[in-house]
């Protein structure tokens, strides 16, 4: 099932560069805050908008693992349903079933009641053949996405199909692969694998009775994963099922395997993979740590690929977080990293440390982590607080209790100050932001009528290379309609100095002054270190100076325009997003600022929504979010996103800046300048105020 929520979104797989940028932002939770509650509710109708009575509705919770059914109810005579209130602390889904309609799942949230439309189920099938044209027996579905005009996307991967009552059967000796009951007229994407052939993908197939299409699986690389049990926690490996994720450069690519269950036999798992450069390989199983985890893995054409993994049972590690006065600190988050051990020592693409477990503190400030024997490092994050130590490293024992000393938190002061001009007069409406590699995800603040600003520090920044605290960082301020800027250096070791940080604006020393601070310098160094890999995977299109594909959408909102051509003569910032994308919503403050500040200066923001939601649902969501700039919604066949994928758009949000002539100036997925996602305000300002010095 697709995971959609306005605050969280594991759906898009980030390219490696983007993943690293996001990683330095860290995990932050609100401390001592009780999650709000909402009532999961909605209505179920047919394609003619008539209520469906007696449909079975099951409620599920997702926080990285899908729960069994929490509750089951049925729609009333008006087609309505409602469950007991639930804390707004995770994803919640309803699975809707009623013969003779096809089952679907839909997310429910605090935004309000949903309306789900059921369509009649049809029997459809796909013909599966080898690259030589021979029918393939034994092929199966690995993932399935279902889109209709009325509903948000339903996404199912192998191992979760039972929640919808599906069964993913194997193709027969004629290569016929029967599909589960699908909604008539829906558009589906299918990934299909085979034990001896590389996975393939069928995209944008319209559901109808009978044969949908024929797919051919190409030759791949036989890949064997061998497993070794750690003697400190002996266990039988055969029969153990691992959730396997082998993610390519794009989440939409045919080679990506996401959360596919594979069972160990003879201490190994074997499957056929594409020869490709992968962004990650991760294996999971309840109660176990399986290492190494890879953040880079190449599978080359030719001989069989073999990798060995160490399997360790996890044990309980207990800790506590308290305030300086000794009272419990509820809602803090403990995050553990573990040694990324391999039976064969260090391996290319496998970092020394990897993610272990996380837990939130309870009413008493206690937390419990499940970690394997060996070295672990534990940090505690609490928004607007700082802990008395960076982290605790301990040797986890399999044969003894594992308790760690208390973490003690104290409030983290805000940064307050005033923006003034050369004559010491206050500057209202100035954009103010922290400038440090570990604050890249923070949205900017705006000075008030008296030029004053306040920045609430979520946590003490850390150096991305050493993971140690960085007490010194910059605060930058600028205005959008004049080349005026200023930078102040603050020191968190001197909290008394954080209350009056005055920033004096003066002429920009250079066109790149706003993006030449420590955060972008770190990004550029990281990019240089990854240059070979990036060049090898750079899309051939999407470079600066190339024309941008037009936007042929099924619907447009907040504008009379009907295509990109209608904005010729203006700068255009394309924001690729979807309603369930948490990072997209996190970026909305800066996107709205661009619309508010630059629209009169010749810049238009266009939100490009994918085909995962109906156009009406997108319109309502934009109204709820206060998005006043133009929005275009992709067709069911994904024609807009398909065109822009050729330009490198692989994840959400992604931004592309287009010049008045309709050609690309900056592509957040391809061009080498400052990352457009992080510095979109500054980059657009440079083109407007320093056109002669822009690339």
Q: For the segment 100-135, what is each residue's pLDDT rounded down to a tens digit? A: 999 999 989 887 799 999 999 999 999 999 999 999
Q: How many CB atoms lie within 10 A of CB 119?
A: 21
Sheet with 506-507: strands ordered across: 445-446, 431-435, 472-478, 484-491, 506-507
Give 530's pLDDT tier (boundaries 50, 70, 90). Answer: low
Q: Structure pTM?
A: 0.81
Is the pLDDT score of 314 beyond 60? Answer: yes
What is the DSSP secondary structure assignment for residue 408, as one 8-state letter? Answer: E
**What average pLDDT is seen over the chain?**
90
- Compute CA 544 distance to the chain's CA centroid, rounded to the nearest angstrom: 26
Is the pLDDT score of 164 beyond 80? Answer: yes
Give the mean model confidence (pLDDT) for residues 435-444. 89
Tokens representing 39 are 């009532």
Give 539's pLDDT tier (boundaries 50, 70, 90). Answer: low
- Compute CA 675 distance to the chain's CA centroid, rounded to the nearest angstrom: 17
Q: How many CB atoms lie within 10 A of CB 466?
A: 9
Query: pLDDT > 90: what percent of the chain?
Result: 72
Query: pLDDT > 70: what percent of the chain?
Result: 93
List Cβ neighbours of 539 (8 Å cut-off, separation of 6 or more). Answer: 646, 647, 648, 669, 670
What pLDDT is recorded for position 254? 85
Q: Which fold has domain 415-523?
A: Immunoglobulin-like (2.60.40)
Output the CA–CA distances (angstroms, integers) from residue 158 to 89, 142, 146, 260, 394, in the order listed.
Answer: 26, 5, 14, 6, 37
Sheet with 603-609: strands ordered across: 555-557, 631-633, 603-609, 571-577, 654-658, 664-667
Is the pLDDT score of 13 beyond 80? Answer: no
**Calpha distance 352→344 (Å, rounded):** 13
**Calpha distance 686→513 (Å, rounded):** 10
- Give the class (CATH, top level) of 315-411: mainly beta
| Nearest Cα residue to 280 out of 288, 292, 272, 289 | 292
**Calpha distance 203→237 (Å, rounded):** 37
**Calpha distance 546→406 (Å, rounded):** 57
Q: Print burial letters for 162-175: b (CB count within 10 Å at least 16), e (below 16).
A: ebbebebeebbeeb
List Cβ neighbours of 494 (8 Å cut-off, separation of 6 or more). Answer: none
Alpha helix locations (H) across 305-364?
none
**Calpha distance 143→155 (Å, rounded):** 7
What pLDDT is recorded for position 33? 52
What pLDDT is recorded for position 8? 32
Continuous segment of H or E residues that includes residue 124:
strand 124-130
Output the CA–CA distances (angstroms, integers) from residue 648 to 53, 641, 644, in the order listed.
Answer: 45, 10, 7
**Calpha distance 23→124 (Å, rounded):** 42
Q: Print burial letters for 28-46: b (CB count within 10 Å at least 16), e (below 16).
A: ebebbeeeeebebbbbbbe
Q: Say what angle helices 582-598 and 676-689 make with each other, to 10 degrees.
A: 10
State whether the Cα torsion 333-440-678-688 is positive or negative: positive
Q: Which fold has domain 538-693?
A: Glutaredoxin (3.40.30)
Output the CA–CA distances (angstroms, integers) from residue 179 to 120, 166, 173, 209, 320, in the order listed.
Answer: 15, 9, 16, 11, 50
Counting every residue written for the chain, the total comes to: 695
Q: Which fold has domain 221-313?
A: Immunoglobulin-like (2.60.40)
Q: For the segment 250-304, what is each residue's pLDDT rounded down to a tens digit? A: 667 789 998 899 999 999 999 999 999 998 999 999 999 999 999 999 999 988 9
Give 535's pLDDT tier (boundaries 50, 70, 90). Answer: low
Give 648's pLDDT tier (boundaries 50, 70, 90). Answer: confident
**Calpha distance 457→499 (Å, rounded):** 13
Q: Considering only residues 534 and 245, tell me which one the structure prediction assigns the higher pLDDT.
A: 245
What pLDDT is recorded for position 64? 75
Give 35's pLDDT tier (boundaries 50, 70, 90). Answer: low
| 34-118: CATH architecture | Sandwich (2.60)
Tokens representing 68 are 């069994």
Give the mean model confidence (pLDDT) for residues 602-630. 92
The strand pair at 506-507 and 484-491 is best described as antiparallel
| 121-217: CATH architecture | Sandwich (2.60)
Is the pLDDT score of 21 beyond 50? Answer: no
Tokens representing 291 are 């290492």
Burial of 535 (0-12, 13-18, 19+ CB in 10 A): exposed
What pLDDT is recorded for position 672? 80
Note every long-range contact of 278-281, with CB atoms under 8 Å and residues 24 or more positions apart, other chains counting.
278/246, 278/247, 278/248, 278/249, 279/13, 279/14, 279/15, 279/16, 279/19, 279/247, 279/248, 279/249, 280/245, 280/246, 280/247, 281/245, 281/246, 281/247, 281/307
Q: Where are the domains of the chain?
A: 34-118, 121-217, 221-313, 315-411, 415-523, 538-693
What pLDDT is recorded for position 603? 97
Beta bridge partners of 57: 73, 96
Spatial contact of 195 and 138, defined as CB atoms under 8 Å apart? yes
Q: Do domains 415-523 and 538-693 have the same CATH topology?
A: no
Spatial contact of 414 and 498, defined as CB atoms under 8 Å apart? yes
Give 20's pLDDT tier (boundaries 50, 70, 90). Answer: very low
Which range, of 77-86, 141-150, 358-367, 517-526, averages the lowest pLDDT?
517-526
Is the pLDDT score of 7 beyond 60? Answer: no
What pLDDT is recorded for position 100? 96
Q: For the segment 361-416, what is each residue's pLDDT rounded down to a tens digit? A: 999 999 999 999 999 999 999 988 999 988 999 999 999 999 999 999 999 999 99
Which range, of 312-316, 396-400, 616-620, averages the lowest pLDDT?
616-620
Spatial contact of 246 and 274, defined as CB atoms under 8 Å apart? no
**Where does residue 294 fall: left (phi above 0), alpha (psi -120 to 50 degrees), or beta otherwise?**
beta
| Nearest Cα residue to 580 out of 191, 210, 153, 281 | 153
**Calpha distance 369→165 (Å, rounded):** 34
Q: For the segment 232-246, what is each residue's pLDDT rounded down to a tens digit? A: 999 999 999 999 999
Give 457's pLDDT tier (boundaries 50, 70, 90). Answer: confident
Place of tokens 């109708």: 45
What pLDDT is recorded for position 532? 54
What pLDDT is recorded for position 543? 87
Count of helix runs (H) and strand runs (E) in the chain: 7, 49
Tokens representing 283 are 């294996």
Output the CA–CA distances (angstroms, integers) from residue 80 to 10, 48, 96, 281, in the order listed.
Answer: 29, 16, 12, 43
Q: Say what angle helices 518-529 and 16-23 make with each other, to 10 degrees.
A: 140
């Amino acid at each position: 099932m697709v995971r959609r929520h306005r605050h969280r979104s594991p759906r898009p797989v980030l390219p490696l560069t983007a993943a690293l940028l996001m990683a330095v932002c860290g995990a932050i939770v609100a401390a001592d805050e009780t999650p709000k509650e909402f009532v999961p509710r909605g209505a179920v109708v047919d394609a003619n908008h008539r209520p469906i009575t007696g449909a079975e509705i099951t409620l599920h919770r997702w926080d990285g693992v899908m729960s069994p059914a929490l509750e089951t109810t049925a729609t009333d005579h008006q087609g309505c349903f409602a469950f007991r209130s639930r804390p707004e602390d995770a994803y919640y889904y309803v699975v809707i079933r009623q013969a003779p309609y096809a089952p679907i799942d839909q997310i429910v949230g605090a935004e309000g009641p949903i309306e789900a439309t059921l369509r009649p189920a049809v029997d459809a099938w796909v013909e599966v053949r080898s690259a030589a044209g021979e029918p393939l027996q034994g092929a199966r579905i690995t993932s399935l996405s279902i889109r209709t005009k009325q509903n948000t996307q339903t996404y199912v991967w192998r191992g979760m199909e039972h929640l919808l009552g599906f069964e993913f059967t194997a193709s027969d000796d004629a290569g016929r692969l029967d599909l589960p009951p699908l909604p008539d007229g829906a558009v589906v994407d299918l990934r299909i694998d085979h034990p001896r052939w590389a996975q393939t993908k069928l995209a944008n197939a319209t559901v109808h009775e009978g044969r949908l299409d024929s797919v051919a699986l190409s030759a791949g690389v036989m890949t064997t994963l061998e497993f070794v049990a750690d003697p400190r926690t002996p266990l039988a490996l055969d029969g153990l099922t691992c959730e396997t994720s082998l993610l390519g450069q794009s989440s939409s690519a045919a080679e990506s395997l996401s959360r596919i269950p594979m069972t160990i036999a003879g201490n190994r798992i074997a499957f056929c993979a594409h020869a490709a450069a992968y962004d990650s390989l991760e294996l999971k199983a309840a109660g176990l740590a399986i290492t190494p985890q890879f953040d880079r893995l190449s599978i080359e054409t030719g001989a069989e690929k073999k990798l060995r993994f160490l399997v360790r049972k996890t044990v309980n590690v207990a800790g506590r977080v308290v305030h300086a006065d000794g009272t419990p600190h509820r809602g803090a988050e403990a995050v553990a990293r573990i040694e990324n051990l391999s039976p064969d020592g260090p391996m290319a693409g496998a970092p020394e440390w990897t993610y272990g477990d996380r837990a939130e503190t309870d009413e008493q400030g206690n937390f419990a982590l499940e970690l394997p024997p060996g070295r672990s490092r534990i940090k505690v994050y609490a928004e607007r607080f700082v802990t008395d130590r960076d982290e605790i490293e301990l040797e986890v024992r399999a044969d003894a209790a594992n308790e760690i000393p208390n973490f003690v938190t104290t409030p983290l002061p805000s940064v307050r100050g005033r923006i003034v001009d050369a004559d010491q007069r206050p500057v209202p409406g100035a954009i103010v932001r922290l400038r440090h590699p570990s604050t890249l995800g923070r949205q900017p603040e705006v000075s008030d009528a008296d030029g004053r600003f306040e920045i609430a520090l979520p946590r003490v920044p850390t150096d991305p290379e050493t993971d140690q605290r960085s007490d010194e960082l910059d605060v930058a301020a600028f205005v959008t309609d004049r080349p005026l800027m200023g930078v102040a250096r603050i020191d968190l070791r001197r909290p008394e100095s954080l209350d009056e940080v005055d920033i004096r604006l003066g002429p920009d020393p250079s066109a790149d002054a706003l993006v030449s601070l420590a955060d972008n310098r770190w990004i550029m160094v990281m990019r240089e270190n990854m240059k070979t890999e990036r060049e090898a995977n750079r899309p051939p299109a999407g470079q600066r100076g190339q024309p941008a594909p037009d936007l042929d959408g099924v619907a447009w909102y907040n504008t009379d325009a009907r295509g990109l051509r209608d904005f010729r003569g203006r700068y255009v910032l394309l924001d690729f997003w979807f309603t369930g994308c948490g990072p997209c919503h996190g970026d909305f403050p800066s996107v709205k600022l661009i619309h508010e500040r630059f629209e009169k200066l010749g810049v238009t923001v266009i939100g490009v929504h994918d085909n995962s939601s109906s156009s009406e649902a997108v319109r309502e969501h934009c109204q709820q979010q206060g998005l006043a700039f133009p929005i275009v919604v992709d067709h069911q066949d994904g024609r807009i996103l398909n065109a822009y994928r050729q330009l490198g758009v692989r994840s959400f949000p992604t931004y592309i800046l287009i010049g008045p002539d309709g050609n690309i100036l900056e592509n957040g997925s391809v061009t080498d300048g400052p990352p457009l996602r992080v510095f979109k305000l500054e980059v657009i300002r440079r083109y407007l105020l320093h056109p002669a010095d822009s690339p």
